[in-house]
Each structure stands twice: as C-alpha cells, then as structure tokens.
Amino acid sequence: MKHYEKALIVGGSRGAGKELALLLSGQGTDTTVVARREDSLAKLKSEVPAVTTLAMDATSEGAADKLVKEIDPDLLILTVGYEPKMIPFHEQSWDEFSGAWNTDTRIAHAFSSAALTQPMKKGSVVVSFSSGAGLSGSRLSGGYAGAKRMQHFLTDYAQKEAELLDLGLTFYSIIPKQLVQGTVLGLAAAEAYSAAVGKPLAQFLNQWDEPLTANKIANHVASLLRHTEPKENKAYVITGRGMVAA
C-alpha cells in the first residue's frame, strides 16, 4: 500500500476534501488543507488537530507556485467546489455565469501548472475533482458544467505533459456523477432541480437508489491512492453504487 508523506488539499475544509483530510491524517500523512472559510477550517482543526490549516484565496496570483514549493507535497488534491447561483443562464450576470471558471478551473490550471513546472517529485500524485455536470450539462448552474469539463480536460493535458517531460507524475480526474447529499452545493442543486421539475425534494432524490455522500467519494479516492503503481485509467466516475473508469 502506498504511503504519502505530505498531502496538500485545496478546498478541503468541507465535503469530500474534508473527508480525505481526515483519512490521510489518520494514516500518518502530514496533511495541509487550504480554503477560504476560516470557520470551516477552525472546525476541521478542532476535529483533527494534526491537520495544518491555511485560510487563503487559492486563486490569488502566485498562490499555487508558493504552496507547492513551500509544502512540497507528494499528493496534491484539488476539491474546490464553486457554489453557482441556481437559476437559468439568461438571468445571470456574466460574473455569476463565469464564477466556476474563475475559481475551480483557474485553480486546476494554476496548481497543475505548478506541479509540472516546480516540478513535484517523481512518484507524486495529483487528484482533481471535476463533476458529472461536465459530462451531461447543468442547465441551472450557468457556466459551471463547462468549467468542470475544462477542469477534466486540464487533468488529461497535464498527464500527457508529465509523460512527455518524463516527470513521473500521475494526474487523476475524479467525476462525481450524482448530486452529493449532505453538502451545501448538493442541497442547493437538488432544491433547484426538484422545483424545476415540480417534484418534492425527497422524491427527486429518490431517483438514485444509492445516495452519493462525501464519505463514499473519499473512500473510493483513498482506495485509488493506495495503489503503489499508477493505474492505467486516469479518470473515474463515482456514483452511489461505486467507482468505475470513465
């Protein structure tokens, strides 16, 4: 089973990122979590004092290069999840529509670039969370689906560049294909889409016989990370029923 010395989780104060921080720290990995929300970071720190927390805007200029250089992780996890305004695109301003591009996609670009140019040490792994919205669209979330699709593409591009440069890095793309229950984003999306189709929230969620939770996602990703050799497939779809290669 592969052991990681240092993990850097960007956007890991809530949801699957938080669950992964708990798992990795419990396995003895020196884990640093970066997020904007000081209250969420404080809650995480109170639950797991061994986790190092940094409150900062990971989209700020130079943040990715600085963090990758100073922390020197052999595991980098990008779990940032922009919370879009759940209304049709024509009711959104451009700033609202493009929000996910300026956070999630920008962070994926900056940190994947930093992993290649620093570069991270041979054998390191980068995990980037995309979304099922990037596969099938998401009518009520503006540019979110396109941004998450581009994030998936960036991970694929980074893997190809790492191979061309013989860096010995592995880039995985994780694609949760259901709404993640128990999360702020999952609840907002479920409420918006259940209202759009005229169904009660519980009935709308019952379309999935097995709910998808942040804990399930974290455990599936952890199982992928345990492999001592990189998996041939680099993109994985996760549903309540399990994880399969995309």
Domains and CATH numbers, the chain: 6-245 (3.40.50.720)
pLDDT of residue 185: 86
Amino acid of residue 115: A
Tell me phi and psi for residue 200, to 5 degrees: -60, 150
Neighbours of 93 (CB within 10 A): 10
pLDDT digits (tens, 9 = 90+) for 151-181: 999 999 999 999 999 999 999 999 999 999 9
Angle at 49 between CA 48 and CA 55, to 5 degrees: 95
Residues constituting the chain: 246
| Per-residue pLDDT band at 100 (split at 50, 70, 90) | very high
First to last CA, the chain: 24
- Write down the mean pLDDT value for the chain: 95
pLDDT of residue 154: 98
Distance CA 119, CA 187 (A): 38
Distance CA 184, CA 187 (A): 5
49-77: average pLDDT? 97
pLDDT of residue 64: 98
Q: How far is CA 4 from the centre of its chain?
A: 18
Distance CA 244, CA 235 (A): 9
Please answer whether residues 23 and 217 qualify as being in contact, where contact means their C-beta atoms are separated by less than 8 angstroms. no
